[in-house]
Amino acid sequence: MSKSTLDRILQAQGFGARKWCRNLIAEGEVSVAGETVTDYRREFETDQLVFSVYDEEWLYREHLYIALNKPVDYECSRKPSHHPGVLSLLPEQFSHRDVQPVGRLDHDTTGLLLMSDDGAFIHAQSSPKSHIPKVYVATTHAPVTDELVSKLLGGVKLNDEPAPLAALVCNRLDEHRLEIVLEQGKYHQVKRMLAAAGNHCEALNRAQIGQLTLAALELDEGEWCYLSTEQMALLVA
């Protein structure tokens, strides 16, 4: 259990600098357990603390663990250059908490994207040593053939890689779609592997990380959710 003053609680949750948070409180815009609190020095237990700002309810969270169904034409960057950033799909205060994508999806790639402000979690999920499999569904320009699947499973050579890269699993879904499972997470890996195998990736969707599936989260494109403890446990190899 930890106790903190209300202004520090709001600051920790990304609602702004301490001075701004104190003004919010003084103006009667913050309530705790249904009671409007105007004294920023009041202390509260942060564990399971529910508070409201501008009548919107929030649960105190030491760290944020988020799953987003990333739409097309959004950049996985805190400083996007050509398209909107994925942070624009989240509440504004999350950006003040240094929330960032766990790895990256290309602007034209859709699907499951994790986001967090927990550096240890981000490192554990991103590290090649973790060997966390990721499942992609690729739409191809030319038909998916047995030869293509065989090449991807056997390994293809990419220009800047010392050794061939192979899919852990590769399944033909229909004439122009295949499921491919990777654990390396190299730059543009699925697209480059398909090109090296003699095809072209028309569209790409990440459907699963570890054992956590996008389908189970039931998120429409652009929607996000907090991850539960049970869902977090699925993010393993």
User: Could you list the active site residues?
Assistant: 106
> d(Cα 105, Cα 210) in Å, to the nearest integer?
16
**Which residue's structure tokens are 């699947």?**
149
> d(Cα 87, Cα 77) in Å, to the nearest integer?
8
| Residues linked to residue 32 through DSSP beta bridges, in sequence order | 35, 51
Distances from the Cα of 89 to the Cαs of 5, 54, 84, in angstroms?
30, 20, 9
φ and ψ at 130, to 5 degrees?
-75, -25
The runs of H, that is alpha helices, within 38-139 are 92-95, 119-126
